[in-house]
Amino acid sequence: MSDLAQSAGPCERPGMSAAAPVIILVEPQLAENIGMTARAMANFGLAELRLVAPKGGWPKKGVREAASGAVHILDAATIHATLPEAISDLQYVLATTARERGQMKRAYAPDDAMADVASRQESGQRVGILFGRERTGLSNDEVSLADAIVTFPVSPEFSSLNLAQAVLLVSYEWRRAAGLARQPFDGAMTAPPASREAVLSLFESLETALGQAGFYPPEKRLGIIRNMRDRLHRMALTEQDVRTFRGALRALTRRVPHDPS
Amino acid sequence: MSDLAQSAGPCERPGMSAAAPVIILVEPQLAENIGMTARAMANFGLAELRLVAPKGGWPKKGVREAASGAVHILDAATIHATLPEAISDLQYVLATTARERGQMKRAYAPDDAMADVASRQESGQRVGILFGRERTGLSNDEVSLADAIVTFPVSPEFSSLNLAQAVLLVSYEWRRAAGLARQPFDGAMTAPPASREAVLSLFESLETALGQAGFYPPEKRLGIIRNMRDRLHRMALTEQDVRTFRGALRALTRRVPHDPS
């Protein structure tokens, strides 16, 4: 193997952060959940997926379709016969569970868990997160192999979270905790506010037009005008906004022959 | 209709918060996504689902299975021919989108958006959140009917979020912003820490046993003992922990006849 090939390790796959936690599904059954898990991981920059004894074998029919393009994660996924084998190279392991297990383990909310994970990763620790079977979750024995628990702040009246949805929440919170969450675009004003001169000239045009149209009795003019100015200020007008409104006002006040059609 | 029936409005369905936002799917196609949307809503206490012109008609085959028990949300879902009809009774509308639309609208991250929504709901505003078609999202025209945008901090390399996953993130953040997110159980120590007397007696037993076993040369005794105490302190021992360790120590130091089998 050339030096070049050796240097192209898993850390250099696109979308992968070297420090992202490993997602470990224990005996997952449905192709759709495994595919959606891969997609959710890719959405938030996780890349390493391990499957412990997937029910019905591997690969599964339909899993690639469910991954909706995140097939690089499925292709790189590793299969393990047992949970201890799947976690042996890790230094810190979290177990996700909806139920109290009578184990004296710290139980984190997803955001707090991922804040802890992100700080461990800064010091070079390899972290894995366990997710159990679709119907029965993780066994107490499996939970006992983890350092701590992650649990989700779901409604007590409907607490059954889908497997891929649980992976999504953890992945989302990891990306935020790792400081990688950036909005794809921001909603800042794309144009600066209009100059006060432009705003004042719009006020003047509007007030003149409304006066000529008999919109207010003279004694109420000042109060109505102040309220109107207030409404326009609320829009935080740009130069383009002012030009558009002045054009609309000109069109509305233009004397055109009445069209009876 | 009796007074009793009238008073049993939608706000009183189990798991529903009167103030939770309305989820509006515009021309959703896949039964699985609609069912998973209902499930995600139920997970975080949302209940009101509106479907605008679902592709292929309604109800859809397989949608109840995908809801995995959240069928009360599907049964109460309303169908609307157009988006304006679906939002007419609302006072504030958010559009979810992955793409910049060239519209000068505020674009929120899910947590900030839901903080704003929760504060609007405190003052009695009815809020709706729009989600677009699986493949093409919302049209620019549809986005222009919303007050502001919600967008997700996804990886730029794999930004395509599944419809039900997007609903899940918004629902999760709404529950947190509304102050309803409680962990289903806490990881606090279920037993109080051991009394210092018990801890000291464990130290003494361990140190005696290790001394008799010749674990350390006399000149290193004190340093090794201090480190050992330190390790035990890290566990934050309970009374039960102390009893268990003392029992294990007794078993290990019991003189039993050697069994050669």
For residues B27-49, give the mean pLDDT: 97
What average pLDDT is seen over chain A? Answer: 88
Q: How many CB atoms lie within 10 A of CB A257?
A: 5
- Cβ neighbours of residue B216 under 8 Å, at least 6 residues apart? B210, B224, B225
Residue A51 has pLDDT above 70, yes or no: yes
DSSP-derived secondary structure for A96-155: E-SS--S----EE-HHHHHHHHHHHHHTT--EEEEE-BTTTB--HHHHTTSSEEE-----
Choose, out of A158, A170, A189, A237, the residue to mutate when testing the contact with B (most B CBs < 10 Å): A158
> Residues A167, A152: contact at Cβ < 8 Å?
no
The DSSP letter of residue B44 is T
For residues A65-89, give the mean pLDDT: 96
Kindly report the CATH number that applies to the domain delimited by A10-177: 3.40.1280.10
Query: Judging by beta carbons within 10 Å of its beta carbon (0-12, 13-18, 19+), is residue B233 exposed, middle or buried?
Result: exposed
Out of A32, A105, A155, closest to residue B15 by CB:
A155
What average pLDDT is seen over chain B? Answer: 88
Confidence of residue B260 (pLDDT cuts 50, 70, 90): low
- Residues from chain B that touch A15, judged by Cβ atoms under 8 A, are 155, 157-158
For residues A26-53, give the mean pLDDT: 97
- Residues from chain B that touch A165, judged by Cβ atoms under 8 A, are 36, 39-40, 43, 164-165, 168
- Cβ neighbours of residue B199 under 8 Å, at least 6 residues apart? B232, B233, B237, B242
Write down the domain spans for chain A.
10-177, 196-253
**pLDDT attached to residue A188:** 63
CB atoms A155 and B186 under 8 Å: no
For residues A141-159, give the mean pLDDT: 94
Residue A93 has pLDDT above 50, yes or no: yes
Residue B2 has pLDDT above 50, yes or no: no
The DSSP letter of residue B133 is B
Class of domain B6-177: alpha beta
| Closest Cα in chain B, distance from residue A153 (Å) | 5
Confidence of residue B190 (pLDDT cuts 50, 70, 90): low
How many angstroms separate the CA atoms of B202 and B225, rounded?
Answer: 12
Q: Could you read off the pLDDT of B119-175 as tens digits, one per residue?
A: 999 889 999 999 999 999 999 999 999 999 999 999 999 999 999 999 999 999 999
Put simply, the chain B residues between 9 and 48 with a CB less than 8 A from any chain A CB are: 14-15, 32, 36, 39-40, 42-45
Confidence of residue B10 (pLDDT cuts 50, 70, 90): very low
- Residues from chain A that touch B100, judged by Cβ atoms under 8 A, are 184-185
Predicted complex ipTM exceeds 0.85: no
- ∠ at Cα B153 (B148, B159), nearest 5°? 105
How many angstroms separate the CA atoms of B39 and B144, rounded?
Answer: 29
- Cβ neighbours of residue A7 under 8 Å, at least 6 residues apart? none
Find, among B67, B74, B71, the residue nearest to B51 by Cα. B74
Residue B16 has pLDDT above 60, yes or no: no
